[in-house]
């Protein structure tokens, strides 16, 4: 079923099942969509605000120009999404334990987010912004981090030898997290 330019919240009727639908220019507000299976669903130019999508299953889901604001996305595996047209942005979201594998995340914005123990593996994060994000125990491996901005984020730890780094921005406070593998003490 196709939905266009609609608002879904606690006062409107939601689809009985969320898989294999198409949503374009839709807004989702204050919904508990935790553990929902969105298999094969398409979201184009949509916005999620104050929604709980923790542990949602996104296998084959298309996320094209989707903004998540004040949402809980704990444990979501974005690596299962349809790679074609994948573009998302996050503002004030909880993305703890989220996984991004083989994703094109060029110019993706993570603003005021918690990304504790998240995983970024084999992603292109060129030009991405991590503004004021908690990156505690987050794993970055085999990524392209060209012009990625980590300068205002904290608890960052990554191995520069395991990622392509060029003109990447770090704060002075991130220096210890870039040198972890050398087992040295920075004071």
DSSP 8-state class, residue 178 = H
DSSP 8-state class, residue 52 = B
pLDDT of the residue at 180: 77
pLDDT of the residue at 181: 79
Average pLDDT value for the chain:
94
Neighbours of 183 (CB within 10 A): 6
Res 187 pLDDT > 80:
no
Mention every residue, 6+ apart, whose C-beta is less than 8 A from residue 129. Answer: 107, 108, 109, 110, 111, 148, 149
Q: Is the pTM of this model over 0.75?
A: yes
Mean pLDDT of 19-31: 96
For each of the domains in the chain, give its residue range(s) and CATH number, in order of start. Answer: 1-8+19-74 (no CATH), 95-187 (2.160.20.80)
Mean pLDDT of 13-27: 90
């Amino acid at each position: 079923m196709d939905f266009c330019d609609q608002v879904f919240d606690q006062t409107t009727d939601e689809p009985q099942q969320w898989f294999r639908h198409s949503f374009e220019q839709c807004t989702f507000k204050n919904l508990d969509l935790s553990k929902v299976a969105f298999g094969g669903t398409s979201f184009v130019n949509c916005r999620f605000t104050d929604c709980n999508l923790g542990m949602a299953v996104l296998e084959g889901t298309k996320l094209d120009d989707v903004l998540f604001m004040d949402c809980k996305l704990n444990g979501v595996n974005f690596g299962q999404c349809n790679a074609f047209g994948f573009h998302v942005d996050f503002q004030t979201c909880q993305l703890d334990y989220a996984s991004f594998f083989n994703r094109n995340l060029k110019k993706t914005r993570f603003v005021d987010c918690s990304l504790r123990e998240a995983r970024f593996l084999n992603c292109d994060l060129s030009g991405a912004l991590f503004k004021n994000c908690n990156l505690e125990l987050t794993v970055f491996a085999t990524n392209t981090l060209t012009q990625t901005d980590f300068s205002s984020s904290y608890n960052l730890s990554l191995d520069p030898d395991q990622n392509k780094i060029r003109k990447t921005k770090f704060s002075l406070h991130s220096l210890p997290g870039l040198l972890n593998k050398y087992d040295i003490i920075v004071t």
